[in-house]
Amino acid sequence: MKYVILIGDGMADYPLPERGNRTALQIASTPNLDFIATGGRCGLVRTIPEGMHAGSDIATLSILGYDPAKYHTGRGPLEAMAMRMPLNEGDIAFRCNLITENEGIIEDFSGGHITTAEAKALIAALNEEFSDKFVEQGWELTFYAGVSYRNILVIKSRSNDLKFREGKEIGGAPPHDIVGEPIEEYLPKEDILRDVMLASKEVLDAHEVNRKRQARNEKKANMVWLWSGGRKPVMPSFSELYGVQGSVISGVDLIKGIGRCVGLDAIDVPGATGYFDTNYKGKADYALRSLAGNDFVLVHVEAPDEAGHLRDIDLKVKAIEDFDALVVGTVLKGLEAEFADAEEGYRILVMPDHYTPVSVGTHTKEPVPFAIYNSRARSEQKRVGGFDEQFARKSTVGVLDARAQELMRLFFIYQ
Ligand SMILES: [Zn+2]
């Protein structure tokens, strides 16, 4: 049996009065998602446990049946795993945003969406300045360049008595939640982190990259913001839990990192950007190719979420329609051609990971719709409707709890 999970990040939404009280999924033309929902089983699933923040990392861990309360140690270590960084026990990996600081206020969490090339030069300057700076205090610091403002700092302690507090999400508040706020109020408690963050301004503010950005009237990326730090997560492998080998495909490090942490291959698809210009079709083609040797693949598409954050319903509908046609459509056609007549057949699960309502502009925690299609259990009786929040709410399955593996059990086991 071939198993495929297709996630459209943040696709779920609220009915919009100005659009006839329809949601983005209801407005979008999605023949392939509708085929799966009306020919398969669908329902609602809780992906964000009570008391946890509605992040894609939390949601994706839950979807795969890993309780985030037990296994999530922070965004930093997951992204570090995606970037194949050697994380030893005791090392702490932090998400390191390059931000714009202005007179003690966070002006922009993305450093004016600095380019990856510019960020690389600033990261090199930070390593030059900091790699030895705190050695006497027993800390070894290494900055790693990522994509645009999203970078990583790994802190190693050189002496046993120098340790970060146990637990997770070490560091400052998520910078995108505190734009316009005074820095002083949100700096982390740990001295080493405060020292690095405040000292980074001296290295970056007058750097040539920022002088040129200022000359072009672009925002400076003149300070680092360290947040969501933690140790390397230790999790049982996906094949241990479900008996299948496989891979993940995403333009987002967070999802690739989760895949690596549970022993799945993270396949790099050329042109996968995690944005509206991503290589949708390429992702689908690589996914189908990966099933020649494996039985499982997860494909994650970020674009609908980005549109939700931009509060742009037309962009969101377009992203959902591209996801449906170029990813879901291509995969369905390929599975039908390759595996429909095979002994075992295939199963496909489609869903968002969480809501990113355009009326809110950020993630919310309601249970999301899902649909599972099993080529071995085709029902002639197609139900009227399509893949959306309302149709799923009416289903018989009810609300599942993802972190308790209720969704994975339904996916891997139900007849
Ligand atoms: Zn997400």
The SS3 call for residue 208 is: helix
Tell how far the Cα of 9 is from the centroid of ligand 1, in angstroms.
5
Phi (first) and psi of residue 110, to 5 degrees: -115, 10
How far is C-alpha 108 from the geometric centre of its chain's CA atoms?
Answer: 21
The DSSP string of 126-143 is HHHHHTTTTTTTTEEEEE
What domains does the chain contain, in order, with CATH numbers? 2-72+234-413 (3.40.720.10), 82-230 (no CATH)
Tell how far the Cα of 340 is from the centroid of ligand 1, in angstroms.
31
Tell how far the Cα of 270 is from the centroid of ligand 1, in angstroms.
21
Tell how far the Cα of 74 is from the centroid of ligand 1, in angstroms.
15
Tell how far the Cα of 353 is from the centroid of ligand 1, in angstroms.
6
Residue 119: the pLDDT is 97
Tell how far the Cα of 302 is from the centroid of ligand 1, in angstroms.
7
Tell how far the Cα of 46 is from the centroid of ligand 1, in angstroms.
14
Tell how far the Cα of 55 is from the centroid of ligand 1, in angstroms.
6
Parallel, antiparallel or unpaired: strands 296-301 and 246-249? parallel
Tell how far the Cα of 47 is from the centroid of ligand 1, in angstroms.
11
Tell how far the Cα of 229 is from the centroid of ligand 1, in angstroms.
19
- Alpha carbon dihedral 322, 324, 328, 329, in 10-degree steps, equals -90
What string of pLDDT tens digits covers the 415 residues of the chain? 999 999 999 999 999 999 999 999 999 999 999 999 999 999 999 999 999 999 999 999 999 999 999 999 999 999 999 998 888 888 999 999 999 999 999 999 999 989 999 999 999 999 999 988 888 888 899 999 998 999 999 999 866 555 565 556 789 999 988 999 999 999 998 889 999 999 999 999 999 999 999 999 999 999 999 999 999 999 999 999 999 999 999 999 999 999 999 999 999 999 998 889 999 999 999 999 999 999 999 999 999 999 999 999 999 999 999 999 999 999 999 999 988 776 679 999 999 999 999 999 999 999 999 999 999 886 655 677 899 999 999 887 789 999 999 999 999 976 5
Residue 414: the pLDDT is 63
Tell how far the Cα of 202 is from the centroid of ligand 1, in angstroms.
34
Tell how far the Cα of 304 is from the centroid of ligand 1, in angstroms.
9
Tell how far the Cα of 238 is from the centroid of ligand 1, in angstroms.
21
- Please, which residues bridge with residue 7 across strands? 300, 351
Which helix (DSSP H) or strand (DSSP E) does residue 230 occupy? strand 223-230
134-153 per-residue burial string, b: 16 or more CB within 10 A, e: under 16: beeeebebbbbbbbbbbbbb
The DSSP string of 304-349 is HHHHHHTT-HHHHHHHHHHIIIIIIIHHHHHHHHHHSSSSS-EEEE
Tell how far the Cα of 45 is from the centroid of ligand 1, in angstroms.
15
Triad 130, 131, 136: Cα angle to 5°: 90
Tell how far the Cα of 161 is from the centroid of ligand 1, in angstroms.
38
Q: Look-up: residue for tokens 């080529």?
A: 375
